Amino acid sequence: MRGKLSEMPIRQGSDIRKSGKVFGQGQKTAKTVRAGLYARVSTLDQQTLPMQSRAMREYAVRRGWTVAMQVKEVGSGATQRQIREKLLDAARRREIDVVLVWRLDRWGRSVADLLATLQELEHLGVGFVSLTEALDLATPAGRAMAGLLAVFAAFEREVLGERVRLDSLMPGRTANVLAGLLLQPCTPIGSANYAGPD
């Protein structure tokens, strides 16, 4: 009996390592996340460009992401951002999985522009992370923040609409409007010309 037991082959765990299967099922490999980094400075603030890039690269490494694309832009926030469009085009072609920016104000020209691009990225299935605000739209807190941005975008559009309407009514003049009434300039309380209440 003893001889028969010693003649049986001993199975080792090497079969698992060779096949890559555990309990008959293959192991899933982690998907590599491809990040697109966007750094922008105004012409007066160029010294922060290397700092933004370095911090975003370090963050991407800590998250285990591969930096697939990095764009750097120098210019005013009010102008059309052609280089940012290259990053959005890469997202549209599915060449990146997440956009990483230093700050929200580096990405969006206005609240409305910021919201529009964030909605487009969400529609494309591309994540968005703002490093300094710790905003990650893949999380519930990040999506809540995006909802707040939508509220402010609507407010910004309404205020801009009021300004345009006022300018069309009174071209070339600045008007203070409260409840649709034109307010007359008043003398501040405490001034030598203040006559007191009527």
For residue 168, indicate whether it is catalytic: no
Q: Which residue has the tokens 């994540």?
A: 127
Catalytic residue among 6, 14, 42, 168: 42
**Nearest-CA neighbor of 64 among 101, 99, 30, 103?**
30
Q: How far is CA 4 from CA 8, 10, 32, in A?
A: 7, 13, 51
Show the tokens assigned to 154.
């609507």
| Residue 125 DSSP class | T
Whether the CB-CB separation of 71 and 86 falls below 8 Å is answered with yes
Q: What are the residue numbers of the active site?
A: 42
